Structure 1
């Protein structure tokens, strides 16, 4: 066993064909072969419990309330909802109480990373409604909408922000019946999608997203001169859309655009899935640090499984993508004792936190895996 490294936290693409990986023909055929149906829910749940229990056992102190750890708790509370585990609820409650349901940076923060903890606080509020659980996250978002530079909409300058902050805006707006939250959410989202750095971070030709303006056409490219479309960055986008759509009423303003954007992303990544079920860290260049990577793959599984369950994409076409991803994660990344490996740690591009190995892990990667597995379990037979 390798020593475990526990980690803390050109031109625009003009056609989907530009993203097709250069796999050998036999590997490409294998990647498109239809795998078995979704494993039984009990089998999926057993793997998820093993991974969650390993992380909790190794972290008696539940940690900080930053975005990385908050993503873990988002996944843990999704698993708690699936299993009804009192132990998972107690662990999450203990973490939130340790931080007095507060935000990193306080209630004046506008930074999306600091709002990520609000997702777990909202989950805990749903189980045990107590208003003080929402005081900090609601106050912070309310200030952005109504008090502190309400016309400022350039806060989400990187695509990760969509996962961190879209869901709290959507959920509190629905909870309070205040459309101002949904409109502010869309104003921030629209700037990121279309205006950040000029044309926006969304590549309408492919349905994929650049991490930030440094990677827009004419900026940073891979060593082979191809675009850099970071797997986990696009995974954050998929996760943010899925969580937001789950929170919003189907007929709410802007949901049609959110649905269309998620569908385009899910279809784009399906076209570049590896034969082993994973995705490379650079979706546009399969020679750029190739190898299995768990966090981006988990978020793509999460977004794909959500889209299938919500009827946004065809089950027959996309269920094989989800099952391949799950099988790859379980057979390659999950250790026998539940340790989750092949997680690229904190960074902003494929080169960050390399090398990614069997023994590389991180809290947000575990959270992404738990989100993915619980969403897949919704599609499974009981």
Structure 2
């Protein structure tokens, strides 16, 4: 089976998206932002000015802002942001800040107006005592890289201090591992047991607090912690870990480890969760009859989210994020190549030969939703799925270059 060059993939996929997309692209919400996060990385890699101009225009249309509410900060909330008209602090509205901060950095910090709004929002947020801002798994991808980038720009350690505080809350709320979902109330370090304004622990007595049954994956939010919301029928005994939710988390951890110094006092803590997740991700991968590797919507229930048109349960957004996270680990010397190479090569084949149409369209993207659901269709595409695929491809370019000996490998740790 021939291996597609990642540079060719980027040109086809991004060329199709930029030239063919017809839907409204102006909104600065998470779906659009997720695409532009990937697009900026392709520009940094390729230097293709068309990519930068496409994202720059989006930033300018949005006036380098996010949520449309302009009321006083005392009225800001972080409820579910699309329905909540004052949810300026809802992290899905913060993903765009990653794009603004990147463009600010690429411009040698000559345009402080690009990040003025983002800094005002995040500075207000970290001034609060609350720790429950990231109460659903997706929120980690939307919010965590913003804090990392602001720290790298300003040197202000309060961004990392608050990041860690918020992350502990998320871990204790949703993570099926040693540091997450404590067995008793007394073991909580955050307000996860008592619940913040919009998040709270829903399943205190879970038999999956047993270390022998840890999966080292994240439930979508506290309301999904097993045995809550079980899968139907015979699958009810299988823990339901949504692939895209874990993709958001895994990608955010990879980006944190890539962008922060290993001297940070909590670096090893994040490294361990990342490595444990990587192990679980690799071992939950599914393969079709041709050896293409991917992840089903419910990671441990491979027969869920299938139908006659998609009997394998193909899904692209979670698969692309997992591929990206694994590639970062190998390229940065965090993961051992030999333990991931089959997973990487097979999922790249899925992305480039199964998910990608001849036109460059990315298919089998599960539509917007909050959980594993009906099977994705070959024609389903979405901006966040394209963005995740582009992120994976930028790291695949580096991986393929190392395979050819064009750079010194970092595959020894």
TM range (shorter): 0.7 to 0.9
| Structure having greater relative contact order (Cα 8 Å, sep ≥ 6) | 1
- Distance in 1 (CA, whole Å) between partners of 2:328 and 2:117 is 29
Deviations 1:284-315 (A, max 9, x none): 21121141100000000011001111222111
Matches within 5 A, 1:1-382: 39=3, 43-59=5-21, 62-105=25-68, 108=73, 109-128=88-107, 129=109, 130-146=111-127, 150-195=128-173, 196=192, 197-198=200-201, 205-223=214-232, 224-225=235-236, 226-275=238-287, 276-290=292-306, 291-351=313-373, 354-381=374-401
Distance 1:106 1:183, change over 3 A: farther
Aligned pair count reads 339
SS at 2:268 equivalent:
helix
The Cα RMSD (Å) is 2.0
Structure 1 unaligned residues grouped into runs of 5+: 1-34
Structure 2 unaligned residues grouped into runs of 5+: 74-87, 174-191, 193-199, 307-312, 407-413
Deviations 1:55-98 (A, max 9, x none): 11123664311001000000001111110011111111111011
- Distance in 1 (CA, whole Å) between partners of 2:328 and 2:69 is 32
- Distance in 1 (CA, whole Å) between partners of 2:322 and 2:165 is 25
Farther off after superposition, 92-101 or 242-251:
242-251
Contact 1:220 1:227 in 2 (8 A): no
Contact 2:294 2:314 in 1 (8 A): yes
- Distance in 2 (CA, whole Å) between partners of 1:97 and 1:105 is 14
TM-score, structure 2 normalization: 0.78
Contact 1:215 1:227 in 2 (8 A): no
Contact 1:270 1:321 in 2 (8 A): yes
Farther off after superposition, 214-223 or 111-120:
214-223
SS at 1:80 equivalent:
helix
SS at 1:380 equivalent:
helix
TM-score, structure 1 normalization: 0.85
